[in-house]
Structure 1
Amino acid sequence: MGQERRVVIAAYDQVQILDVACPSGALELANSHGAAPPYRVELATVSGRGARSSAGIVLAGARRLGAITGPLDTLMVVGGAGTRAAVLDEPLLAQVRRLAGRSRRIASVCTGTFVLAAAGLLDGRRVTTHWGYGELLAAAFPAVTVDPAPLYLRDGNVYTSAGVTSALDLTLALVEADHGPTLARAVARELVTYLHRPADQAQISMFLAAPSPGNRVVRDLLGYVAGHLAEDLSPPALAARAGVTARHLARLFATHVGTTPARAVRAARTEAAAHLVRGSELPLAAIARRCGFGSAETLRQAFLDHYGVTGDTLRRMPDIPSLPGAAAVQTPEA
């Protein structure tokens, strides 16, 4: 790619600021850790006047999309509240089509997938977007195959990602593809994030599948579980923390989570351990302790029960298998 990898982030008014910050920040860190060739990130809008984010912060320093010439490494279209207007902005769509033809690869973040689809760049491809907009995307663009579950997808040279922070997972994947896992791991460590959550990890994991807002007891306990995996999370301990009886706690979990407290805790520990196996070089015994398992053997059995493979096998696999146990702790729709 010559002296640098040129990345253009196409934005518009009412963009989600994290959609821009996550990829640009990760690529900046990749450069600081020795990416060769380095990335050159350019923010661009139709007018060249910058973009006002949905948070009210103006992203200045933008270039005019029509002024960008020459080959590009990556064209990335971001999302946000302004997507509704962006898909009707013919000058924007025309520039996205033009620059896509100059780019080695194309990517979108969150509802930026709608812009790529409106530009006609996703017909016949399998894509993802924010889980809350998958049905709308599929209905609006029937020539596009929409899978709203994964964090990000690659179909040929087109990458699409889910909501907001999944842009970080996507960008780490791009860095790894360009420069290898060692550099991507260094960036992830500095960002204090996983390297990197696998593409097919469900957007709504057990950590995000919160019970109904009215059930404060269960919601608070699930948050506590996620942050205290190594502590005593037995049903009696959780019941005491919530100030309810163990029997009442079991009824609450059955009603609002669809499983028992013990199974919810084991699923949370197993998913967290799987991320550590995939994103670190810690030995299984250390991961077992950190995630609240009594021993490496107990962790091994949990992996077998949930994923059908051992931890050593999981570490070598390209992706984490889907987690059957996760479905049990997601909230049934009202």
Structure 2
Amino acid sequence: MTTSNGNPVGRRRIGILLFDRVKTLDFVGPAEVFVEANQRVDGYELVLLSADGADVTTSMGVRIGVHAAAADAGEFDTVIVPGSEFVPGVFDDPAILGAVLSLSTRTRRMASICSGALALAATGLLDGKSATTHWKFADYLASHFEQITVQPDSIFVRDGCTYTSAGVAAGIDLALALVEEDHGADVARAVSQLLLVYMQRSGGQSQFSASLRATPPRTPVARAVASYVNADPSRPCSLADLAAYANVSTRHLTRVMQAELGMSPLEYVTSMRLDLATGYLESGRSVAQAAADAGYSSPVAFRRAFVARLGVTPIDYQRRFQTTRREESQAV
């Protein structure tokens, strides 16, 4: 039942489509988010589904009982399709794809976790849309479904009423985002506290920190400089400082770092500082203090770098993703 503006009345029904060899954390993590949200708003009814109503066995070998067959389950506010390590084979099953397509006609929002995006793609639900998946399935999704704009680095992507997320723990991020859409940031923040996780990361945030995105350095010069920066990104790290540390010319260092890491020495420093400062924000330090402690020359310089990567200001990020109201009041 919905109101005149299309919003659901009462509890929102959340359907999760399970199947043999489903990845356990892909559906347990998001499910716990909605269950914990009920401690604040009693806003969700969780319904576990399978294509034929039979129990399923997860990738861990755990047998899971479901509530109903997909065809018999009625209408939903949100349907979630979790992923599996056994793809694309798992989603070659016509019964699973038929269930996905059928459920998509009876729900307000369609979502996938991890490789579950392949099921949405195979049924045409992502045609002409942007989407993401676990990084190790991103190339497959892009090459086999050229009509989809794949965003391989994103934590989650919303395109209209369709949501896709990266692997495993990113499903928790997506579920928190859905709770925030439904009931506001206060409820989503309370759920994150109950689960002892941070408020969800931005959907556009990379799946990796800068240190993990960078190609591991091979040569002694690049390794030495990368280790020096990683040890303390906040220390003075001009190009001349780094070249002197490595005992090479600035020109040679720039050439080596570009070849090894795909970025200049100063770009690498900026990336490491931004990761450090973001962590400080999440722990509750003010924007000015996070900028100073991470080695930025000013909060303005930090803000510019932060917006360039994440698309939001540091203060907006902290207000949305901090874990307590006390931390929010300390942000300046």
- Separation in 2 of the partners of 1:205 and 1:60? 35
Match of 2:27 in 1: 20
Matching of residue 288 in structure 1 with residue 298 in structure 2: no
Kindly state the Cα deviation for residue 165 of structure 1 after the two structures are TM-superposed.
Answer: 2.1
Contact 2:114/2:134 (<8 A) preserved: yes
Match of 2:3 in 1: none
Kindly state the Cα deviation for residue 176 of structure 1 after the two structures are TM-superposed.
Answer: 0.6
Kindly state the Cα deviation for residue 264 of structure 1 after the two structures are TM-superposed.
Answer: 2.8
Match of 2:191 in 1: 187
Q: Specify the SS of the correspondent of 2:88.
A: helix
Q: 1:50 aligns with which of 45, 53, 56?
A: 56
Kindly state the Cα deviation for residue 113 of structure 1 after the two structures are TM-superposed.
Answer: 0.8
Kindly state the Cα deviation for residue 9 of structure 1 after the two structures are TM-superposed.
Answer: 1.4
What amino acid does structure 2 have at the position aligned with 1:12?
A: F
Rate the CA distance shift 1:307–1:121 in 2: closer, same or farther, 3 A.
closer
Q: 2:79 aligns with which of 63, 75, 78?
A: 75
Kindly state the Cα deviation for residue 222 of structure 1 after the two structures are TM-superposed.
Answer: 6.6
What amino acid does structure 1 have at the position aligned with 2:169?
A: T
Kindly state the Cα deviation for residue 231 of structure 1 after the two structures are TM-superposed.
Answer: 7.3
Taking the TM superposition and a 5 Å limit, the aligned residue runs for 1:47-126 are 47=52, 48-53=54-59, 56-66=60-70, 68-126=72-130
- Separation in 1 of the partners of 2:219 and 2:30? 36
Rate the CA distance shift 1:15–1:258 in 2: closer, same or farther, 3 A.
same
Which piece of structure 1 moves more, 215-224 or 44-53? 215-224
TM-score where L is the length of structure 2? 0.74
Kindly state the Cα deviation for residue 66 of structure 1 after the two structures are TM-superposed.
Answer: 3.6
Summarize deviations over 1:152-211 as a string: whole Å, max 9, x none: 111221111122222122111101101101121222334444422111112343142253
Contact 1:8/1:43 (<8 A) preserved: yes
- Separation in 2 of the partners of 1:221 and 1:28? 47
What amino acid does structure 1 have at the position aligned with 2:31?
A: S
Which piece of structure 1 moves more, 134-143 or 258-267? 258-267
Kindly state the Cα deviation for residue 298 of structure 1 after the two structures are TM-superposed.
Answer: 2.8
Summarize deviations over 1:18-57 as a string: whole Å, max 9, x none: 212321222222223x0342x232332235212221xx24
Contact 1:152/1:161 (<8 A) preserved: yes
Q: 1:131 aligns with which of 135, 147, 160?
A: 135
Kindly state the Cα deviation for residue 288 of structure 1 after the two structures are TM-superposed.
Answer: 3.4
Matching of residue 9 in structure 1 with residue 16 in structure 2: yes
Rate the CA distance shift 1:276–1:146 in 2: closer, same or farther, 3 A.
same
What amino acid does structure 2 have at the position aligned with 1:287?
A: A
CA-based RMSD of the aligned residues comes to 3.9
What amino acid does structure 2 have at the position aligned with 1:292?
A: A
Taking the TM superposition and a 5 Å limit, the aligned residue runs for 1:287-326 are 287-288=290-291, 291-293=293-295, 298-305=298-305, 307=307, 313-316=313-316
Summarize deviations over 1:67-120 as a string: whole Å, max 9, x none: 642221210001122332232211111111122211121100111011012223
What amino acid does structure 2 have at the position aligned with 1:6?
A: R
Matching of residue 203 in structure 1 with residue 207 in structure 2: yes
- Separation in 2 of the partners of 1:31 and 1:133? 33
Calculate percent identity across the aligned residue pairs: 32
Gaps of 5+ in 1: 240-244, 321-334
Match of 1:159 in 2: 163
- Separation in 2 of the partners of 1:36 and 1:86? 34
Q: Specify the SS of the correspondent of 2:100.
A: helix
- Separation in 1 of the partners of 2:276 and 2:14? 33
- Separation in 2 of the partners of 1:66 and 1:46? 5
- Separation in 2 of the partners of 1:57 and 1:219? 42
TM-score where L is the length of structure 1? 0.74
- Separation in 2 of the partners of 1:301 and 1:86? 48
Contact 2:111/2:163 (<8 A) preserved: yes
Contact 2:234/2:295 (<8 A) preserved: no
Give the length in aligned residue pairs: 304
Rate the CA distance shift 1:95–1:217 in 2: closer, same or farther, 3 A.
farther
Rate the CA distance shift 1:312–1:142 in 2: closer, same or farther, 3 A.
closer
Contact 1:293/1:299 (<8 A) preserved: no
Match of 1:176 in 2: 180
Taking the TM superposition and a 5 Å limit, the aligned residue runs for 1:33-44 are 34-37=40-43, 39-44=44-49
Gaps of 5+ in 2: 1-7, 321-332
Q: Specify the SS of the correspondent of 1:208.
A: helix
What amino acid does structure 1 have at the position aligned with 2:291?
A: A
- Separation in 2 of the partners of 1:76 and 1:129? 14
